A and B are shown apart, each in its own frame.
Chain A
Amino acid sequence: GEDVEQSLFLSVREGDSSVINCTYTDSSSTYLYWYKQEPGAGLQLLTYIFSNMDMKQDQRLTVLLNKKDKHLSLRIADTQTGDSAIYFCAEREVDSGNTPLVFGKGTRLSVIA
Chain B
Amino acid sequence: EPEVTQTPSHQVTQMGQEVILRCVPISNHLYFYWYRQILGQKVEFLVSFYNNEISEKSEIFDDQFSVERPDGSNFTLKIRSTKLEDSAMYFCANEGTGSTDTQYFGPGTRLTVL
Residue ranges of A at the interface with B (Cβ–Cβ < 8 Å): 31, 33, 35, 40-45, 48, 88, 90, 94, 98-106
Per-residue CB contact flags for chain B residues 98-114 toward chain A (1 = under 8 Å, else 0) read: 01011111111000000
For this complex, into which size category does the number of interface residues on chain B fall?
20 to 34
Interchain Cβ contacts under 8 Å between A and B, 13 examples = A41-B108, A42-B4, A42-B91, A42-B105, A42-B107, A45-B105, A88-B43, A98-B31, A98-B48, A99-B48, A99-B56, A100-B35, A101-B103
The interface residues of chain B lying within 8 Å CB-to-CB of A101 are 35, 43, 45, 93, 103
Per-residue CB contact flags for chain B residues 42-59 toward chain A (1 = under 8 Å, else 0) read: 111100101000011010
Q: Is the CB of B102 within 8 A of A48?
A: yes
Q: A94 CA to B91 CA in the complex, in Å? A: 22
The interface residues of chain A lying within 8 Å CB-to-CB of B97 are 98
The interface residues of chain B lying within 8 Å CB-to-CB of A90 are 43
B33 contacts chain A at the CB level, 8 A cutoff? yes
Q: Is the CB of B33 within 8 A of A43?
A: no
